[in-house]
Structure 1
Amino acid sequence: MKAKLECVVLDCPDPIALAEFYRSIIGGTVNQPDRRWTTEYGDATLHLESGFVLNFQLVEDYRPPRWPDPAFPQQFHLDFAVPDLDEAQEEVLALGATLLDDTQGWRTLADPVGHPFCLVRDWSLLPDDGEAAG
């Protein structure tokens, strides 16, 4: 399996504000329509010219990290685009991952030491029907 790193997801209390902050630093477009992500749950996206996306995930009781205090760890996860979710899930489970959730149309797993990551459908392999996820 060769997955594509497609997105980095950061927890935060105000997704739009954080997306605008990073847009001011690196450019891009906030909440560009894209069938790969939805913003209907309060999340925001920042699409960069390179095609890479940052996603800002709403967390109601957000506690910021305190570098380098492990009691308040860094809060982000990786999204990997794969051609087949079932096949990719089997492969990463065999490598030592643990399935956390598969109810959202993508798969959330933990690496062998507990860091969450997601396997998502590789939309670039599907015909573009003009639909955006959010």
Structure 2
Amino acid sequence: MALATLGPVVLDCPDPGALAGFYAQVLGGTPEGDADWVDLEVPGGRVLAFQAAPGHQPPAWPAPDASQQFHLDLVVEDLDAAEQGVLALGAKPLDTGDRARTWRVYADPAGHPFCLCAC
């Protein structure tokens, strides 16, 4: 028997509305909240939440002396099309290595790493 259930995954960021808007464009859903906290229920019922953190420092990736803390794996049908879309929305490529791989690494507008995965 489980002791708990998983609630929303919460990302600290300087502007919850802006970052929720980025992920809404990538994943779908409608952001709801205020200046300090925004929930984004994505198709399938999972929730990403965004919490205001005025002193937010994005994680470093890759950095052998620092932790990325976490990352999101986002499953896509067409890796090249998804890449064009997230870059147009403000994502930054973090790994321009082997383009034949089935995954690519980016940072969202607040600096959190995420992967597009054609699995």
Q: TM-score, normalised by structure 2?
A: 0.50
Structure possessing the higher radius of gyration over alpha carbons: 1
Q: TM-score, normalised by structure 1?
A: 0.45
- Higher RCO, 1 vs 2 (CA within 8 Å, ≥6 residues apart): 1
